[in-house]
């Protein structure tokens, strides 16, 4: 009699296929992250090179900053001492080498290392961008969900128009309008600055300040300072955050409407699941994935808007200092600040791409 042929049960085989699939997915994710990390180097290189070339199209920085205030002989002596009379490609390779070692040069107007300015004022700009993102999330995502829930009704049309207004309104105009209403007419909020003079003095006494007032105020343990910092951040955070809130509102609305038209949502609807529950349980999370993917682009938009916002509210960050150095025609400082902002955008896009890949398995090379 022939012995029966034994076969492994399906349950014994499935875990192996699952593990192999999981391992393949993990290797693809690792390869994706590695490729994105390697791409940062040429991206930063191209951005810094473009900044250098654009700055040098107007001539040498010495003439731009001091031309008309020095005699031709003195001006030429300064140009020669700084090395700006050498061939452009020699200056370029020297500048690139210094940038990759953290040396952005020395300002012409106040003779400060540009790297010191970047460290001193960079935290303020990042803090403002953080407040703006919080406002964008708080305003844009709930209103986008509401617009999807009320789609094809008049409140949906109102919210879509509101999203366009948020995005199209110039940041400086929104800032001036907010200052006029809430700081001048109502006198509810401070007009300008990152904190009151008393809080600024308290934070300067900390042994190791980070330059980010909220973190420093929390580290000081003084809740009055924390409240003062947050109150000063309300108006500039709203002025800059509404710009991105309009993008989030429209993006969440479109993606939620697309999700609500899927077959599995129609099946749930046919079983008697309410529309509000469908929005909260089925369409909410899928609509957030595109939000993660566009945050990198919005950071570039926020940093550009921060220049105007910081000027309007006298928020002393990189944008505020950039305007000061532009007025002084100090293009060495301008070049360093713009190069750093470009690096921040490149690194932020890398981080966002990694987060999107972790959330959505479809994001792979």
**Residue ranges per structural domain of the chain:** 38-103, 117-359
Neighbours of 170 (CB within 10 A): 11
CA distances from residue 305 to 171, 302, 341, 347 in whole angstroms, order as listed: 6, 5, 12, 19
Q: Which residues pair with 123 in a beta bridge?
A: none
Do the beta carbons of residue 307 and residue 181 sit within 8 Å?
no
Per-residue pLDDT, 190: 92
Give the Cα separation of 154 and 165 in Å (integer).
17
pLDDT tens per residue, range 204-258: 888 888 889 999 999 988 899 999 999 999 999 999 999 889 888 988 888 888 8
The region, left, alpha or beta by phi > 0 then psi within -120 to 50, assigned to residue 193 is left
Give the Cα separation of 167 and 247 in Å (integer).
7
Q: Please report, to the nearest 10 degrees, the dihedral formed by the alpha carbons of residues 193, 195, 201, 205 taken in order.
A: -120
List average pLDDT for each run of 10 residues in the chain, which is 365 residues long: 47 46 63 82 84 78 71 79 82 85 82 86 90 92 86 87 90 92 92 90 86 90 92 94 89 82 76 74 70 74 84 90 86 84 81 75 57
Per-residue pLDDT, 261: 76
Per-residue pLDDT, 341: 81
pLDDT tens per residue, range 304-328: 788 889 999 999 998 899 888 888 8
In sequence order, the 6+-apart residues with CB closer than 8 A to the CB of 31 are 365
Q: Distance of alpha carbon 15 from its chain centroid, rounded?
A: 42
Per-residue pLDDT, 67: 64
Q: Which residues pair with 106 in a beta bridge?
A: 113
117-359, which class in CATH? mainly alpha
Closest C-alpha to 312, from 196, 125, 171, 130: 171
Give the Cα separation of 344 and 256 in Å (integer).
31
Do the beta carbons of residue 140 and residue 244 sit within 8 Å?
yes
Per-residue pLDDT, 68: 65
Do the beta carbons of residue 338 and residue 51 sit within 8 Å?
yes
Q: Please report, to the nearest 10 degrees, the dihedral formed by the alpha carbons of residues 251, 256, 262, 267 taken in order.
A: 180
3-class DSSP string for the chain: CCCCCCCCCHHHHHHHHHHHHHHHHHHHHHHHHHHHHHHHHHHHHHHHHHHHHHHHCCCCHHHHHHECCECHHHHHHHHHHHCCCCCHHHHHHHHHHHHCCCCCCECCCCCCEHHHHHHHHHHHHHHHHHHHHHHHHHHHHHHHHHHHHCCCCHHHHHHHHHHHHHHHCCHHHHHHHHHHHHHHHCCCCCCCCCCCHHHHHHHHCCCCCCCCHHHHHHHHCCHHHHHHHHHHHHHHHHHHHHHHHHHHHHHHHHHHHHHHCCHHHHHHHHCCCCHHHHHHHHHHHHHHHHHHHHHHHHHHHHHHHHHHHHHHCCCCCHHHHHHHHHHCCCHHHHHHHHHHHHHHHHHHHHHHHHHHHHHCCCCCC
Per-residue pLDDT, 205: 85
Per-residue pLDDT, 315: 92
Per-residue pLDDT, 9: 47
């Amino acid at each position: 009699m022939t012995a029966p042929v034994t076969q492994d049960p399906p349950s014994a085989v499935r875990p192996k296929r699952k593990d192999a699939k999981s391992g393949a997915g993990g290797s693809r994710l690792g390869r994706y992250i590695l490729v994105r990390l390697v791409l940062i180097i040429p991206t930063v290189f191209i951005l810094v090179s473009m900044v250098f070339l654009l700055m040098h199209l107007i001539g040498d920085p010495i003439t731009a900053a001091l031309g008309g205030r020095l005699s031709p002989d003195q001006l030429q002596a300064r140009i020669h001492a700084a090395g700006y009379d050498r061939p452009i490609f020699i200056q370029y390779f020297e500048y690139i080498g210094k940038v990759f070692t953290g040396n952005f040069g020395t300002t012409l107007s106040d003779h400060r290392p540009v790297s010191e300015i970047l460290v001193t004022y960079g935290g303020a700009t990042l803090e403002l961008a953080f407040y703006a993102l919080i406002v964008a999330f708080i305003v844009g995502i709930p209103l986008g969900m509401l617009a999807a829930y009320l789609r094809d009704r008049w409140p949906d049309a109102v919210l879509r128009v509101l999203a366009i207004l948020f995005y199209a309104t110039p940041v400086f105009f929104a800032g001036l309008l907010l200052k006029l209403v809430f700081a001048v007419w109502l006198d509810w909020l401070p007009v300008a600055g990152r904190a009151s003079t008393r809080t600024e003095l308290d934070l300067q006494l900390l042994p190791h300040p980070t330059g980010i007032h909220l973190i420093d105020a929390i580290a000081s343990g003084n809740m009055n300072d924390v409240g003062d910092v947050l109150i000063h951040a309300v108006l500039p955070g709203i002025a800059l955050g509404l710009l991105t809130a309009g993008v989030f509102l429209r993006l969440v609305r479109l993606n939620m409407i697309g999700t609500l038209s899927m077959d599995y949502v129609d099946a749930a609807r046919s079983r008697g699941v309410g529309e509000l529950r469908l929005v909260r349980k089925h369409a909410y999370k899928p609509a957030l994935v595109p939000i993660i993917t566009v945050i990198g682009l919005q950071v570039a938009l926020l940093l550009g808007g921060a220049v105007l916002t910081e000027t309007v509210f006298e928020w002393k960050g990189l944008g505020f200092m950039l305007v000061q150095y532009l007025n002084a025609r100090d293009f060495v400082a301008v070049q360093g600040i713009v190069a750093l902002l470009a690096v921040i955008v490149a690194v932020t896009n890398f981080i966002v791409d990694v987060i999107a890949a972790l959330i959505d398995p479809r994001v792979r090379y």
